[in-house]
């Protein structure tokens, strides 16, 4: 299988997690070709939470796809990839994937992952979660997606938000068998 990973970024809170994930991939896994697709909502959260524009995020990725380019390579099941992570994943994007309503490239790429039975990891974020959100996440879990919300973890004694962020990134990369230096596992 080709060493390519799709990184989708949607408009939920948590843009710094996407930035850190791309940095980790670039620094520690240069052999993996990252394919980045960013939603319109994510452009806003990126600016609000990181003070960054899409161009700066794009510089961290291997290949960048515009979200309206529905004919891009990652829109096809014949384009070989390891899988896709959507980080953060908004409830609108969750709803789009759960219903198969693929009206942008990010949604289409996720849809392809499901139909090809490839790994799809959703760093889904909202609080509190409505019954609609829970139903969609439940359905996606049943369809094989990994629901990995960016929840706080205290057992590794984080000293900063960056520590917390790195821990979530470590868990996301773990889903693809990729190491994340500094990710502290529970050893009992
Ligand atoms: C600053 C900010 C934070 C947001 N946080 C969340 C969130 O945590 N979860 C969520 O589902 N939507 C959140 N939203 C709303 C989504 O961005 C909005 O529903 C958008 O249409 C999602 O579209 P997308 O999935 O195509 O990015 C937030 C919006 C803004 C501006």
Dihedral-angle region of residue 51 (phi above 0 means left; psi in -120 to 50 means alpha; beta otherwise) = left
Tell me what pLDDT residue 154 has: 93
Phi and psi dihedrals of 96, rounded to 5? Answer: -60, -45
Position 1 pLDDT exceeds 80: no
Quote the pLDDT of residue 45. 98
Query: SS3 helix, strand, coil % of the chain, rounded to 5?
Result: 40, 15, 40
- Which of 186, 174, 185 is CA-nearest to residue 21? 174
Q: Identify whether the C-beta of residue 175 lies closer than 8 Å to the C-beta of residue 137.
A: no
Across all residues in the chain, what is the average pLDDT?
97
CATH number for domain 4-174, candidates 2.40.50.140, 3.30.800.10, 3.40.50.720, 3.40.50.1950? 3.40.50.1950
From ligand 1's centre to the CA of 50, what distance in Å?
Answer: 15
Q: Return d(Cα 39, Cα 96) in angstroms, integer.
A: 13
- Quick one: how far is CA 88 from the chain centroid? 6
CA distance 86 to 93: 9
Helix residue spans in the chain (DSSP H): 15-28, 40-50, 54-58, 91-99, 105-115, 131-142, 161-174
Mean pLDDT of 65-92: 97
C-alpha–C-alpha distance, residues 149 and 23, integer Å: 20
Mind listing the pLDDT tens digit for each residue in 102-114? 999 999 999 999 9
pLDDT at 188: 86
Q: Where does the pLDDT of residue 2 fall: very low under 50, low under 70, confident under 90, or very high at 90 and above?
A: confident
Q: Which of 1-10, 41-50, 113-122 has the lowest mean pLDDT?
A: 1-10
- Tokens 């408009």 belong to 11
What is d(CA 8, CA 126) in angstroms, rounded to the nearest whole number? 17
Which of 8, 11, 45, 94 to probe ligand 1 with, by most ligand atoms within 8 A of CB? 11
Helix (H) or strand (E) holding 4: strand 4-9
Domain chopping of the chain, boundaries = 4-174
- Please say if the pLDDT value at position 70 is more than 70: yes
Closest CA to 147 of 88, 96, 105: 88
**Which among 20-29, 155-164, 177-186 has the top mean pLDDT?**
20-29
- Residue 138 CA to ligand 1 center (angstroms) comes to 20
Mean per-residue pLDDT for 25-51? 98
118 CA → ligand 1 middle, Å: 26
- The residue behind tokens 């590794």 is 156
pLDDT, greater one: 188 or 171: 171
């Amino acid at each position: 299988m080709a060493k390519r990973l799709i990184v989708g970024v949607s408009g939920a809170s948590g843009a710094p997690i996407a930035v850190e994930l791309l940095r980790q991939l670039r620094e520690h896994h240069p052999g993996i070709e990252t394919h980045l697709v960013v939603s319109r909502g994510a452009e806003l959260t990126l600016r609000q939470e990181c003070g960054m524009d899409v161009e700066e995020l794009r510089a961290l990725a291997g290949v960048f796809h515009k979200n309206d380019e529905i004919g891009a390579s990652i829109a096809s099941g014949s384009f070989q990839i390891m899988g896709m992570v959507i980080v953060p994943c908004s409830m609108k994007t969750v709803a789009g994937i759960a219903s198969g309503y693929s009206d942008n490239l990010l949604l289409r790429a996720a849809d392809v992952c499901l139909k090809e039975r490839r790994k799809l990891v959703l760093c889904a974020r909202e609080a509190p979660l409505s019954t609609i959100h829970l139903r969609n996440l439940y359905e996606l879990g049943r369809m094989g997606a990994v629901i990995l919300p960016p929840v706080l973890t205290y057992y590794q004694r984080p000293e900063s938000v960056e520590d917390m962020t790195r821990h979530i990134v470590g868990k996301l990369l773990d889903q693809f068998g990729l190491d994340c230096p500094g990710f502290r596992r529970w050893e009992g």
